[in-house]
Amino acid sequence: MRKIIIVFICLFCLSNIVRSQEKLNINTKESSIKWIGELTFHFGGHDGFIDFKEGYFIKTGDMITGGEFIIDMNSITNSDIKQQEGKDNLVKHLKEPDFFDVEKFPLAKLTITKVKYSNPTHARVEANFTLKDITKPINFRVEFNSEEQKMTTRFKIDRRAWNVSYKSKLRDYAISDAIGLEVLVKL
């Protein structure tokens, strides 16, 4: 009888935990990922955007505790080059195997594994980031704005960890190993 009571208590507690979790789908049209690639030895570089294909947060009680986001690598654009031919050439090059190899790896994914709050609106997020079928842990600070239903963050990744291996032949125009990402996620 004691075992049965313990089982019922465990099931009751588990059902309350499951019920208190909520899946919040993101608004992919209003969310954005800006990428920034800089030169190593000079000021300048390139930037543009990549679209979310889909994504969601997991909300437990009043706090975001997880989530998963799929990124459409085919959507990569350039913002800084004025001439269309230059934009097209850069985007084509970014989609090639020495950069993102988009034909072979059309999607990237970020899965939140842990959220540690410093206060109700700021947290450090631990996540697994998959790019070119390579998954590595990353962490970054985020700001949540519940009134505007959005999350913002800025962070950098080392492109070499995901085999984004382009090497410039000219030292003065070498690109940085860091790729900057500025992310806005809206519900």
User: From the CA atom positions of the chain, what is the Rg in Å?
Assistant: 20
Residue 1 lies in a domain: no
Residue 13 lies in a domain: no
- pLDDT at residue 146 in the model: 85
Q: How many CB atoms lie within 10 A of CB 117?
A: 14
Residue 16 lies in a domain: no
Residue 178 lies in a domain: yes
Residue 6 lies in a domain: no
What's the sign of the alpha-carbon dihedral 134, 172, 46, 36?
Answer: positive
User: Structural domain tally of the chain?
Assistant: 1
HEC-encoded secondary structure of the chain: CHHHHHHHHHHHHHHHHHHHEEEEECCCCCCEEEEEEEECCCCCEEEEEEEEEEEEEEEECCEEEEEEEEEEHHHCCCCCCCCHHHHHHHHHHHCCCCCCCCCCCCEEEEEEEEEEEEECCEEEEEEEEEECCEEEEEEEEEEEECCCCEEEEEEEEEHHHHCCCCCCCCHHHCEEEEEEEEEEEEC
- pLDDT at residue 168 in the model: 58
Residue 157 lies in a domain: yes
Tell me the C-alpha to C-alpha distance, in Å, between residue 13 and each of 16, 19, 20, 117, 184: 5, 10, 11, 24, 35
- pLDDT at residue 106 in the model: 97
Residue 124 lies in a domain: yes
For the chain, residues with pLDDT lower than 70 are: 1-19, 40-43, 167-173
- pLDDT at residue 12 in the model: 60
Q: What is the CATH number of the domain that holds 119?
A: 2.40.128.110
Q: Which pLDDT tens digit goes with each residue over 31-45?
A: 999 999 887 666 678
Domain span at residue 143 reads 21-186
CA angle 39, 70, 128 (to 5 degrees): 70
Which residue bears the tokens 């085919």?
74
Residue 14 lies in a domain: no
pTM above the 0.75 mark?
yes
- pLDDT at residue 172 in the model: 44
